A and B are shown apart, each in its own frame.
Chain A
């Protein structure tokens, strides 16, 4: 079960560190750091049910405005 109750002892310290992690990075570099961070944390959590809940919550309320680069195939 995904824990959405407070779980971080010093929230302001954590948030500052999260922003410091991205300091002076270009958008591409920021995305690179985020991707690594997400992978590290997901592996640490491990529980697939928790990961799916977190993914669903993260996507909530976002209407897709882009599209993946695939094409329909018919033969």
Chain B
């Protein structure tokens, strides 16, 4: 069934809260029904199921994203969408890709494969217009009794206090008040909540302008990311070409700082630029046009008492690297399980501080990568231009220079290596599954996948034949036994450097927090305490 998610309009409906004699109390309010707010609401509602607590999602608008906007959704984000119950819809609709190619003038200089190995359920990336991502998340959210969505509800004032956050909400029927135990602000780059609290996001703006022209056409370009430096059809600037579903292509033209952002949006200017790339007889129509500049910036802290900021509200990056929406969805899954445990009384409020520690570090990693890409694409001085050109020139016949070409380092999930929730290794392990790392997928017998069984709650991932009984804990533990028969290809054992007896403690967001060579219930208890903010040291 094809749904044009851009055309959907959601009706404002009066809520009983608006006639209540006193401000109604809500366990958790999420503001902003974009990808980050929707993912947060779904994840929270799943984690709060059976607790009697619901999630209230407020949005000041009546529709989803009208433009394609974010289009590249990374493997890790798809794995999160799987856990949220909408991964299949995203992957079925999306254009799967893993290869990027970089050209200098007319010559190919570099190509990369973002997932060179098999044995993963999800691909490196799918391209999918933001309105589909929001639409599939919304379909899921609307099917969940644990979520109430109020459209046309605009947060006008925020009063945080010791025991709750007071909100004044404006509607077509006038304003009303509610109180939230916790507030998640996923209200975008201009975050009215950030402003209402007198907080700032700070960083650097890059002196360059870019034109996005999404065009609808029949074309036989492969489903790859193509990036040109100084191509003959757009001299001295860069161009990005990328495929989207429904025969839509993203073309991103670098324009330079002096370009007129209003005039450049005019089809009279845009169409010749597109024709220069596609050929003068090309048959296409403009789908969405936008001229943008960007900044790399973040808030100093993402947690402010009972208010937490997620996604663009908390941090911003350049689009080259697909690190905006992807990192926002990763913020969502990081805060959701922690908030749910605190609301259920299964973890202290201090656990929420780890959201700040882990996601500020992740934002810094994303900003670092994004800034490096931008410094390559948009040289900020004569010297950086000279080195950029030298790298591109040498890349033709010197392998080392190809590794320096930077058209965007694409989104990878952060490993929370310095997290206070981690229990450091006591034994020697090889490979990437260090405490803090997002769990890698692996195929299991019968067409099953490892990640399907991780997440939600805490899981003890045990390798070997004799699975241990889980110790009684708060929150409870599930045991996943990976036997030699289940791990028929041996990939799970290889990726986790596992021997019989090796045991991992995996968080509800599928990140590793501790591991041992043998199961020891006391060690597991201590690691669980630490991972839920009850650790004696550090947490």
Name the segment of B353-361, B389-397, B514-522 touching the other chain: B389-397
Known A31-B386, A68-B380, A70-B206; contact A75-B393, beta-carbon cutoff 8 A: no
Assuming A74-B200, A74-B201, is B297 touching A40 (CB within 8 A)?
A: no
Q: Give the shortest distance, in Å, between B385 (CB) and chain A (any CB).
A: 9
- Would you call A36 and B394 a contact (CB within 8 A)? yes
Residue among A34, A36, A69, A75 facing the most chain B CB atoms (10 A cut-off): A75
Q: Is the CB of A39 within 8 A of B390?
A: yes
Indicate if the CB atoms of A35 and B387 lie closer than 8 Å. Answer: yes
- A 32-50 contacts with B by CB, 8 A: 32, 34-36, 38-40, 43
Contact B202 A74 (CB under 8 A): yes
Residues from chain B with Cβ under 8 Å of A70 in the complex: 204-207, 380
A62 CB to closest chain B CB (Å) equals 12
Q: Does A11 contact B (CB under 8 A)?
A: no
CA distance A36 to B387 in the complex (A): 7
**Bound-complex Cα distance A43 to B401 (A):** 9
Within 8 Å by CB of A69, from B201, B203, B380, lies: B380
Q: What count of chain B residues pass the 8 Å CB interface test? A: 33
Query: In the docked arrangement, what's the CA distance between A39 and B194, Å?
Result: 44
Option from B205, B295, B381, B390 in Cβ contact (under 8 Å) with A36: B390
Against A, the Cβ 8 Å flags (1 = close, 0 = not) of B376-389 are 00001111101101
Please give the distance in Å from B534's CB to the nearest CB on chain A.
Answer: 36
On whether the beta carbons of B204 and A73 are closer than 8 Å, the reply is yes
Minimum Cβ distance to chain B for residue A1 (Å): 23
Inter-chain residue pair count (beta carbon < 8 A):
71
Q: How far is the CA of A5 from the CA of B203 in the complex (A)?
A: 42
Instruction: Tell me, in angstroms, the Cα distance from A70 to B194 when the chains sit together.
Output: 24
Q: A interface, how many residues as a size bin? A: 10 to 19
Q: Is B62 an interface residue, CB under 8 A from the partner?
A: no
Check B398 for interface membership: any CB of A closer than 8 A. Answer: yes
Complex CA distance for A32 and B393, rounded to whole angstroms: 10
Report which of A32, A71, A74, A75 forms a contact with B389, defined as CB distance below 8 A.
A32
Cα distance A66–B381 in the bound complex, in angstroms: 9
CA of A73 to CA of B400 in the docked complex: distance in angstroms?
A: 34
B37 interface residue (CB < 8 Å to A): no
Known: A75-B189, A75-B190. A69 touches B389 (CB 8 A): no
Asked if B401 contacts A73 (CB within 8 A), the reply is no
B328 to chain A, nearest CB (A): 15
Contact A39 B387 (CB under 8 A): yes
Chain B residue at smallest Cβ distance from A71: B205
A8 within 8 Å of B by Cβ?
no
| A68–B375 alpha-carbon span in the complex (Å) | 11
A residues near B436, Cβ cutoff 8 Å: none
- Pairwise interchain contact B381-A71, C-beta atoms closer than 8 A: no
The distance from the CB of B204 to the nearest CB of chain A, in whole angstroms, is 5
Given contacts A31-B386, A32-B390, A75-B297, are A40 and B398 in contact (CB under 8 A)?
yes
A34: chain B residues at CB < 8 Å are 386
Contact B202–A31 (Cβ < 8 Å): no
B404 interface residue, CB < 8 Å from A?
yes
- B168-207 contact mask (Cβ, 8 Å, vs A): 1 or 0: 0000000000000000000001110010000011111111
Q: Which residues of A contact B401 (CB under 8 A)?
A: 39, 43
Q: How far is the CA of A66 from the CA of B380 in the complex (A)?
A: 11
Task: Give every chain A residue within 8 A of B135 (Cβ-Cβ).
Answer: none
Where the two chains meet, the residues of A that have a C-beta atom closer than 8 Å to any C-beta of B are: 31-32, 34-36, 38-40, 43, 66, 68-75
28 contacts between A and B (CB under 8 A): A31-B386, A32-B390, A34-B386, A35-B383, A35-B386, A35-B389, A36-B390, A38-B387, A39-B394, A43-B400, A66-B381, A68-B381, A69-B381, A70-B205, A71-B204, A71-B205, A71-B206, A72-B203, A72-B205, A73-B201, A73-B202, A73-B204, A73-B205, A73-B295, A75-B189, A75-B191, A75-B202, A75-B295
3 closest Cβ pairs, A-B complex = A35-B390, A73-B295, A73-B205
